[in-house]
Amino acid sequence: MAIQRTLSIIKPDAVAKNVIGKIYSRFESNGLKVIASKMAWLSPQEAGEFYGVHKERPFFKDLVSFMISGPVMIQVLEGEDAITKNRDLMGATDPKKAEPGTIRADFAESIDANAVHGSDAEETARGEIAFFFPAMNVYAGR
Ligand code: ADP
Ligand code: MG
């Protein structure tokens, strides 16, 4: 295992539920360190570009509408095996199928409003981190 970085987003449903702190606490108590963070209200262009990989999918329009429905909290997480660890903490995309104790099982309502995003591989993590954070705003090791 190696130290990795991954991009995490707390989606508008979870921000509206006032559970940013509870979700950060899951990261921190599982060895993931927040090394960059910001709150943002994405534009349709930004949300569409971020989820560009899904643009041919039937749910793309709803996904973008949901992601711009309120502010989101965006963070870079760093730690051992951070990409897989974050995905494990998140649980399955559909909260009804997510393991008990995962973020989506505990805080999400539906496959659309599913509380969190997490990068799925090293390549996507690099691209997603660069999309939101210039390198000078990632405070590793300080
Ligand atoms: P994940 O967020 O678990 O990586 P995907 O990358 O497959 O899942 O999909 C991105 C997001 O698109 C999901 O988090 C979810 O909000 C939405 N989504 C995925 N599949 C569906 C679907 N079948 N119906 C509605 N929304 C979906
Ligand atoms: Mg994904």
Each residue of 46-82: pLDDT tens digit? 999 999 999 999 999 999 999 999 999 999 999 999 9
Structure token pair of residue 20:
């940013």
Say how far apart CA 19 and CA 63 lie, in whole Å: 21
Give the 3-state secondary structure of 43-97: CHHHHHHHCHHHCCCCCHHHHHHHHCCCCEEEEEEEEECHHHHHHHHHCCCCHHH
User: Which residues lie below 8 Å from residue 64, measured CB to CB, with a gap of 6+?
Assistant: 44, 47, 48, 51
102-136: pLDDT as tens digits: 999 999 999 999 999 999 999 999 999 999 999 88
Span from the CA of 51 to the centroid of ligand 2 (angstroms): 9
Query: Which residue has a Cα nearest atom 1 of ligand 1?
Result: 93
Report pTM: 0.97
Burial string for 48-63 (b: 16+ CB within 10 Å, else e) reads bebbeeeeeeeeeeeb
Maximum Cα–Cα distance across the chain: 43
If DSSP codes are grouped into helix, strand and coil, which group holds residue 107? helix
Quick one: which ligand is closest to 63's CA? 1
Spacing, Cα 113 to ligand 1 middle (Å):
9
Does ligand 1 have an atom closer than 6 angstroms to the CB of 93?
yes
